[in-house]
Every structure is written in C-alpha cells, then in structure tokens.
Amino acid sequence: MVVEGNYTESQNRSSVRTERILQRELLKSDCTFIGDISDLPGASVAINNCDGLAGLIRTDTDEYFIEPLERGTQEVEEWGRVHVVYRRSAVLQAPSDISLDYQTNEPELDVPKVLDNIANQINQTVRRRRHSDYDDYNIEVLLGVDDSVVRFHGKEHVMNYLLTLMNIVNEIYHDESLGVHINVVLVRMIMLGYSKSISLIERGNPSRSLENVCRWAHVQQKDNPEHSEHHDHAIFLTRQGFGPTGMQGYAPVTGMCHPVRSCTLNHEDGFSSAFVVAHETGHVLGMEHDGQGNRCGDETAMGSVMAPLVQAAFHRYHWSMCSGQELKRYIHSYDCLLDDPFKHDWPPLPELPGINYSMDEQCRFDFGVGYKICTSFRTNDPCKQLWCSHPDNPYFCKTKKGPPLDGTECAPGKWCYKGHCMWKNANQLKQDGAWGGWSKYGTCSRSCGMGVRFRTRQCNSPAPANGGQDCPGVNYGYQLCNMDDCPKHYEDFRAQQCQLRNSHFEFQGGKHHWLPYEHPDTHKRCHLYCQSKETSDVAYMKHLVHDGTRCSYKDHYSICVRGECVVCHHHKSIRNLNN
C-alpha cells in the first residue's frame, strides 16, 4: 500500500534532493477526479473530494478555485460544510510575480501538477485516530534503498519495482493464517547515493550494518508523530553482501515501535525478497523461527514465512500457528500501529504484479544481469517454477523453487496464476477455496501425563482464485496423546520446565533455583513464569509452556496448547476455551 502524494528522496553526502512522484497513482485515487464540463467545450476540471471539495475549474475565459473553509471534520458533519469559490485573477500577487512582458503566452494548465498540489495540501491535514476493528493494525514504513539496488534496476524502473515489491509484502501480511489484520503502508521512500550506501553497509558484518541502518532511519524520522511521513518501521534494501554467504536478512526481535530498533536489513534479489522482508519484519513484531523454541518445525516444509530457511513462494506460503501466537502475545503493546494514515477506506491493490514483468526480467532480478528464462529444456507448464540461465552457459539452469509472479505472460493470451498457465479472462468467475487433506499427526509433545500432537492442511483443493474466499476455519488440528500417568518424580511438568532453567537463565545478575509459578492472570498461565527459591522473585522465561502443561494446579481438565488454555473432554479431543 502506498500513501497518496508521498515523496521519494535521493540522498547523497552533500545534499538531499526531493522530487514529487506517483502522479499517475494520484489519478487512480478513490477521491481524486479530472474531467470536463457538459455543454462547455474546452473546459476542464481537477477536483479532490477526499476532505471536502478542493480543486480547479478552467474555462476558455477564466480559472476558478474551490476549497473548503475548514478541513478535517467531514466525518462528523451532517449538513455539509462551507466552501469558497474564487477566480485566479482575484488572487493577490507580489509585484515581482507580475510579468511586464505582455507578449509572453499564458502557460498551459498542468492538470497532474494541480492534482499534485491538492494532494500535498490534503496530506498535511492532521490524521485522525482510527475507529476500526480490534485486530486492525497499520505498519507505516520508511523504505530505504541503497545505490546497489538503484543501479541494478535503473533509475527509470526502480520505482515501479519497489512499489510492486512492497505490495507483495502487504499481501503476505494479509494472509488469513496470520490471524491478525495488518496493513504494510509505504509512507516514505529514500534512495541513497553511492558514498552514503557504502558507509552504512559493512561487508561481512551484519550486526554493525544493521546498527548503522537503524541509526540512519532514526535520523530520518519526522519529529511530529502526526506528520504524514512519520514512520513506525524502517525497511532497508541492499544488494551488497552484509553477512556470510546465504544470509538474506537481519533484524532485532520485538523492536516494533522502538525509536532505534524498529528496522530490518534485507538483501534484495528479486520479487522473492518480499518473503525475506516479511520474515524479518515478523521478527521485529516478536515472531521466532518456526521449530526453534516452539513446536512448528513441521510447518516449514509447507512454506511457512518464519521458517529458518525461507522456502515460501508465491503459490505456497502461510504463517505458522506459532507465528500467530507469538504475534498476538506482543501486538497489543505496539501502540504506534494504531493510527490510520488514510482518511477513508484503503485503496484497492493494483492489478496482478506480473503484468508488467516478463519472465526474462524476473530472471534478471533473481540471478543478475544477462539471465533469461531457460530454453534448454521444456516444461509442461512454465508457471510451475521459474527456471533461468545465462547465455554464457545456457544448459546450466537455476531456480529459486518458486513460480513467476501472478499475471506474468506465459503464452499468447495466457498468464501465470497460482503456479498455472491460464487463459486471460476478464470475466473469470470467483473461485472460493476449499481445504485439502490432512497431513499425518506429528510427534506427541509429552511421553506421558497427556501431551498434544498436531496435523495441518492447506487451502488448495482448490485454492481461492479471482477474488474468491479463503478457506474457513484454521489450517491445523490437534488431539491428545500419551495420556498414561507419569512416574511420581515427573508428575509436575511445569516444575520440570522451570528446573531446566537453573543452569543457564540469569536473573538480576545471578543464577537461581527455579520453582514453578502459576500466574494470577488467567491469560498468562500458558506463558512460562518461574519463582526463585532463593529470593522469591518471579521471572518470565520468555517462552510459552510446552504443549500439554496444565493451565492451573487447581484445574485438572485444562491444558496449554500453542499458548492458549483449552479444556479436555471425552479423553480424545480438545475444545478451545475462547470458542
């Protein structure tokens, strides 16, 4: 998503050059219009109705401006508002602005420029706090792009490429599996010059590079939180090697909304980088790697976004159960995500992203200059995977194991969609998604005393298409397992988990003997809290309790599953208390 009327900035060592962008995007806005006047030949109109009428009406004889006398109260007005209409000739001019050369022709009206000025005026209006749904959040993004990215894509093409990339990131965060509605909103873009770029990225040192990038982003921050370009989070893209071979991104965990730590460093190498950006921003939101410190390792092979090695692709990606749980643990503390950068509904996303990019172009983005679609062998469907090769070695074909972008032309009259080459049809029927079959159950979380095991399914039978609905419900199921009583020494599962921290968890400068602690807040009983035997202090171990841990010592029928307390019944299944 892109906020209308924003700026891109090119920064060099000596100066900052600011230039207006996205004139064509303004013409697509839901509340900006251009046109003519019926029965009045030669007349033209440029009007913005985002917050009252503001614009220009031009006839053969004169030009008229219209604007509201007050702004920012349209949502609460019942009887409209007062506007003022005046001629251009009525506007007072300073003497130095009046031309004495009467032979100079009157300049032509530049409609896009007028719209640009209107949009800039509207954007300076103080933003209202949103009154939307509980689980609706907006990450306002500063996008930093270094010289290596600009040079690779070319100054004339890099803008459209970056907007497409960010729209894909936004779409990834809209996936239903996340469980929270998050909009990724681009509010500002800065392109760095060569000298500044090499000063920020320290080759082979991801920690220092990230620190430099975060401090740079902090310096760019607008002082006024209500400014239209005030950002919550910075995303930095580079093609320089900031880490060891294979490192695609680096980010602090749970840094969102922090003035210096809400930032990510990402290696840009094609549209698949959108998953890297989404992954690193996930860390800043509090998400951990799937399978590391949680029990979602079995979801990585199916394209979970937070897999340690990102395997997600355009036709196959989802957020794991653990990612959703970890996000919900922190999201309510990120107050900066609660303000709405728009005054009206979100504008529609652009058309399919591949429409403007051929397979050859996508190969160049993925693997570098000279790479094109591999022609050494034929595939039944070129949309299943994008294979690329270089003319110097045409028989050596490479792939990132993902399909071309949706909308990429694959044959005359056909385009790629969800990994398949399909006929283009503007009137295609919507196809709602349906669940595929269940996977086998995974391993049990406990060897005795009642554990939990999980299975998953995918929304691919068929997948939703042409604006159809996602599959209803969740993509996982679970059941009880190993319900025999444990030996007496192993009865208290929560105590075992606390005891395991004795050797390595330091608190207030020392190690402790940790005892189990049941938090008085019922919403936190599936988070691991332990109490020091020596000092009686209570510490949060920054982990959920293992699946199968009892929620409370006083309740023998409820256990923790993925960080939530669920009640057991019939000895075979589990019912979520929240349902």
Q: What are phi and psi of 23, to 5 degrees?
A: -60, -40
Contact status, residue 29 vs residue 39, Cβ threshold 8 Å: no
Starting at the earlier edge strand, list the strands of the sheet with 387-390.
Answer: 372-373, 387-390, 393-399
- Report DSSP state, residue 173: H
Residue 490: exposed, middle, or buried by beta-carbon count in 10 A (0-12, 13-18, 19+)?
middle
Q: Binding site for Ca(2+): what residues are annotated?
A: 140, 232, 336, 339
In whole angstroms, what separates CA 492 from the centre of its chain?
41
Q: Which of 25, 171, 229, 280 is catalytic?
A: 280
Q: What does the alpha-carbon distance between residue 529 and residue 254 come to, in Å, rounded to a whole number? A: 19
Q: Binding site: what residues are annotated?
A: 140, 232, 279, 283, 289, 336, 339
Q: What does the alpha-carbon distance between residue 228 and residue 185 come to, in Å, rounded to a whole number? A: 11
Q: What does the alpha-carbon distance between residue 46 and residue 196 come to, in Å, rounded to a whole number? A: 40
The two tokens of residue 218 are 């902090």
Active-site residue, 534 included: no
Crossing angle of helices 273-284/158-173, nearest 10°? 50
Task: Identify the residue whose tokens are 């107050």.
Answer: 335
List of residues 6+ apart from 295 with CB closer than 8 A: 322, 445, 454, 546, 547, 562
Q: What does the alpha-carbon distance between residue 423 and residue 68 come to, in Å, rounded to a whole number? A: 48
Task: Identify the residue whose tokens are 């602690």.
Answer: 517
In order of 182, 312, 437, 477, the CA distances from 456 in angstroms are 24, 16, 9, 6
Active site residues: 280
